[in-house]
Amino acid sequence: MNQRPLPEPNTESLFENLSIDIDSLPHAEHIAFDPIERKYANILYLTTSIFFFVLLILMVTLLIPRLGLLYWVSWASLLLWVFLYLFSMWFAWASVRKKAYAIRDKDISYKTGVFFRQWITIPFNRVQHCEVSRGIFDRMFGLVELKIFTAGGSSSDISIPGLKPDVAHTLKELVINKVDSLDEEE
Amino acid sequence: MKKSEDSWYRNPTRQSPIAIVMIVFNIVKSLIRVWWPIIILLFFRSSMIGPDTGKPLVIGAVIVIILFSIWRYLRFHFYLSESKLHVQSGVFTRTKMDIPFDRIQTISFEQNVIHQLFNVTKLKIDTAGSSKEEFEFAALEKAKAQDLRNFILSRRTNFDVDTGVATDHVPDQKLLLALEVSDLVKVGVSQNHLRTTGIILAFLLGLRDRIEEALGESYVDQFDSLAEQLFQNIFTWGIGLFVILLLASFIGTLFYTVFRYYDLRLWKTSEGYKVQAGLLNKIEQAAIDHKIQIVRWVSNPLRRIFGIVHLRFYQASSATGNRSINVTVPGYPEDKIYQIKKFAFGHKYIEPQVSHGIDRSFFWRRVLFLGMLPATLFCILGWLDQRLTWFVIGGLWFIIIGVFQHYYQKKWAYFLTDRECITSHGVFEIVNKAISMRKIQGVQIWQSPFQRRRNLSSIILHTASGDVKIPFIPYQVSLQIKNYILYKIESSRGKWM
C-alpha cells in the first residue's frame, strides 16, 4: 500500500497494559505478495464486453429509434457508452494487477482494489472451510477461484480469482492442513 | 423434580390441542402478510364480487384453514430416543426429522396470551449446522416442555468446558437486573423517537403507493386534495405531519417498550446470561459466554439523565444474518457496565484509560460529501426555481452538517488494551462497542484515494457476528494494530464461538 516514510507514532501509548514489544512481532507489511494470473484480465475483458454490447444493442434498438439519430441525446449517450466502455476495460486491466495474495505460517492475506485498496488477513485458526470453484469463464481460460470462508456473515470471507488449478489446489491443501493441525493442537 | 416412571416422551406424542389454535393463527397471519393489498381491495370494493359470493368465500376459507390446521396437528408426532429428537410432520409431504441432541444449541420457551391462559408454551429449538435450521413446537404443556428440555440437556455429550455446567437442571444464577414499570417508562421515553418517526414516515410514503396500486388513483387523489386543503404549503404540511408522527411514535414506543420488556429480568448464569421479559408474549433468551462476539451499549442525552444504557450482546450463530440471536437488555444501569465488561473479558480486565482519536480529515471529507454536495444541489435547485427558500435550506443544511460532523469527529474514540478493543462514537447518541481480540476472525485495512494521499487508512475487525471499524487513523497505526491483533489471535488456543 502506501510506502511513503512517516514519523513513527508513539507506540507505547497505543496499547495499554502491553507486555510485549510491538516491533518484535511479525510485520505483515513486509510479506512478499504473489500476484494472480494476468490471464484473469481476459475473463474481465470478456464479461465487460458482453455487458457493454448488450447495453449497446438495447440503446440502438430501443433508445435511438425513438429519439432519432440526429438528436444530441443520442450522440451524447453513444459517446458516454464509448467512454464508460474504455474506462471499464482499463479498470479491468488495472484491477488484475492489484490483486495479490500471501501466505504466512499462520495466516493468509489478500489485497485488492484500484482506487479503494483493501487488504484482509484471516488467521488459519479462524477458517471454517475452503473450496476451489470454476465458473464457465474460468473454464474457458483454464483458471479457478479459491474461496476461504469464515463463520458468521460473508464480510470477512476471501475469494481469490485467477489462479492456476494446480496452484489453487496446493493452496487449498495447505490451508486445510494448517487448519486441521491447529485443531489437533487444541 | 419427580422422575416420571414411564417417560411419556419415549412414545410418539402429539402437541397440546391448543396447538391447533396457534396453527390457525399462524396461517391467518402469514396469509394476511402476503395478501393484504388484495384483502384491502376486496374490503373497499366489495361491489366487485358482490355480497352473495363474498360471504360463502370467507366462510369456506375459514373452514378450510381450520380443517387443515387440525389435520396438521394430527399429523405431528415427536418422541425422544437416547440421543435424538425425532419429529414426524407434514400434511401433503411427510417429513421425518432426526435432530441429534449434540446439534441443539438452545431451547427456549415463548408464551403469548393464549399460551399463558392454558399453561402451555411455544418451544423453539435452534440447531447448529451449515444450513439454517430452526424448529418449533406451536404449543406444548409447560410440564412436558420442561421434561423435554431437561432430558435433552442431560443427554448432551459434547460439552465444552464452559457449557458443561448446563447438566444441572438449575444452573446457579445471579439476578443482575429487574426492571419495574417505572424503569420501562424511562426506557420508552429515552428511545430514539426521531428515527422511529423517520421509519414511520418512510413506511407511510411507501404505503401511499401501495394503496394507489390497490385502489386506483381516485382514492389517493381525494386524500391528497384533502391534505392540500388542510395544509396550504409544503412546510406547514411537513412540520404538522412530523409533529403528529413524533407524538404517535412516542406513545407507540412507550407502549411497545412496556409490553415487550415487561418484568424484564437479567441473570448471569454459569454459562452466560439469561433474559426473560414480555407482558403478552413472554420471551426467554440466552446469551452463551463463548458465543458472545461484541458487547454494545448505546446512550443518549435522556438516557444519561436517567443513568441507563441500551445493552446488546451479539452472538455468533449458524445462520448468517440471524438477528434473533442477539440479546437486548434496555435500561441497564450505566454505572454497572463495568460489571458486564468484567464478565465478558474475564477478571483480568482493566478499564483502559487512554483514548485515541481519529484524523481531522474525516471531518473534512464528511463535510464535503454530506454537507457541500447536498447544499450545492439545493443552490442549483434555487437557481432553477428562482426561489430564495432553496438557498436558505442549502445554507442551513451545510451549517448543521458542519457543526454535527465537527463534534462527531472530535468525539470518535477508541481504546486498546493488551486484550480488548473498545470504540465509542456519536454526538447525541453514543454507541460503544467492546470486543475481545481473540474473537476477531479477520483484519482488514482499507484505503480510499483520499486517505492514501494523507497516509491514512481505516481498519475493520471482523467477527462471527458483525464488524468493528475504526476509520481514518494513520496507516502506521493500523499496521501496528493489525500486527498485534494477528499475533493475539494466532497465539490463542481457546474457543472463540
* Long-range contacts of the stretch B408-412 (C-beta < 8 A, 24+): B408/B363, B408/B366, B409/B357, B409/B358, B409/B360, B409/B362, B409/B363, B409/B366, B410/B357, B412/B357, B412/B358, B412/B362, B412/B471
pLDDT digits (tens, 9 = 90+) for A120-149: 999 998 888 888 888 888 889 999 999 998
| One domain for residues A82 and A106 | no
Cβ within 8 Å of residue B100, ≥6 positions away: B83, B84
Cα–Cα distance measured from residue B85 to residue B124, given in angstroms and rounded to the nearest whole number: 13
- What pLDDT band is residue A165 in, cutting at 50, 70 and 90? very high
Indicate which CATH number applies to the domain containing A139.
2.30.29.30
- Alpha carbon separation from B490 to A108, B315, B436, B484 (Å, rounded): 12, 22, 14, 10
Residues 333-352 of B with CB under 8 A from A: 350, 352
A61 vs chain B: nearest CA distance in angstroms? 31
Answer yes or no: CATH 3.50.50.60 is held by domain B8-158. no
Residue B1's pLDDT is what?
Answer: 41
Domain membership flag for residue A11 = no
Residue B47's pLDDT is what?
Answer: 61
Cα–Cα distance measured from residue B426 to residue B303, given in angstroms and rounded to the nearest whole number: 14
Per-residue pLDDT of chain B (497 residues; tens, 9 = 90+): 444 445 788 888 888 888 888 888 888 888 888 887 777 777 666 665 566 666 787 888 889 999 999 998 988 888 888 888 888 888 887 777 777 787 777 777 888 888 888 888 888 887 665 444 567 888 888 888 888 888 887 776 544 433 333 333 445 678 888 888 888 888 888 887 777 777 777 777 666 666 655 555 555 566 666 555 554 555 566 677 778 888 888 888 888 888 888 889 898 887 788 888 888 888 888 888 888 889 999 999 989 999 999 999 988 865 544 555 788 898 899 888 888 888 888 777 888 888 999 999 999 999 999 989 999 998 898 888 888 888 888 899 999 999 999 999 999 999 998 889 999 999 999 999 999 998 898 999 999 999 999 999 999 999 888 889 999 999 999 999 999 999 988 888 777 77
CB contact under 8 A, B455 and A25: no
Cα–Cα distance measured from residue A115 to residue A48, given in angstroms and rounded to the nearest whole number: 18
CB contact under 8 A, A152 and B463: yes
Out of A6-20, A166-180, B20-34, B292-306, which region has the weakest mean confidence (pLDDT)?
Answer: A6-20
Q: Which residue has the higher pLDDT, B220 or A75?
A: A75
Cβ within 8 Å of residue B403, ≥6 positions away: none
Q: Are strands B420-425 and B413-416 parallel, antiparallel or unpaired?
A: antiparallel
Cα–Cα distance measured from residue A167 to residue B74, given in angstroms and rounded to the nearest whole number: 57
CB contact under 8 A, A116 and B449: yes
* Long-range contacts of the stretch B379-386 (C-beta < 8 A, 24+): none
Interface residue of B465, B482, B496 to substitute, partner A, most A CBs within 10 Å: B482
- Measured between CB atoms, does B444 come within 8 Å of chain A? yes
CB contact under 8 A, A2 and B452: yes
Check: CB of residue B286 under 8 Å from CB of residue B327: yes
Residue B81's pLDDT is what?
Answer: 85
Residue A48 scores a pLDDT above 90 = yes
| One domain for residues A66 and A118 | no
Domain membership flag for residue A69 = yes
Check: CB of residue B315 under 8 Å from CB of residue B263: no
Residue B103's pLDDT is what?
Answer: 72
Q: Calculate the CA B385 to chain-centre distance.
A: 44
Question: What one-character-per-residue DSSP string does B89-125 give?
Answer: E-SSS-EEEEEEGGGEEEEEEEE-HHHHHHTEEEEEE
| One domain for residues A104 and A177 | yes
| One domain for residues A118 and A157 | yes
Please give the tally of structural domains in chain A: 2
Residue B168's pLDDT is what?
Answer: 39
Domain membership flag for residue A44 = yes
Angle formed at CA A16 by CA A10 and CA A18, multiple of 5 degrees: 90
Interface residue of B349, B480, B481 to substitute, partner A, most A CBs within 10 Å: B480
Domain membership flag for residue A80 = yes
| One domain for residues A106 and A172 | yes
Domain membership flag for residue A25 = no
CB contact under 8 A, B447 and A4: no
Three-state secondary-structure class, residue A35? strand
**Structural domain range at position A116:** 100-185
| One domain for residues A141 and A156 | yes
- What pLDDT band is residue A11 in, cutting at 50, 70 and 90? low
Domain membership flag for residue A10 = no
Domain membership flag for residue A14 = no
Cα–Cα distance measured from residue B3 to residue A174, given in angstroms and rounded to the nearest whole number: 53
CA-wise closest residue to B69 among B15, B111, B125 = B15
Residue of chain A minimizing CA distance to B418: A18
| One domain for residues A174 and A123 | yes
Domain membership flag for residue A21 = no
CB contact under 8 A, B486 and A26: yes
DSSP 8-state code for residue B320: T
- Alpha carbon separation from B183 to A80, B122, B253, B331 (Å, rounded): 60, 28, 14, 7
Residue of chain A minimizing CA distance to B319: A152
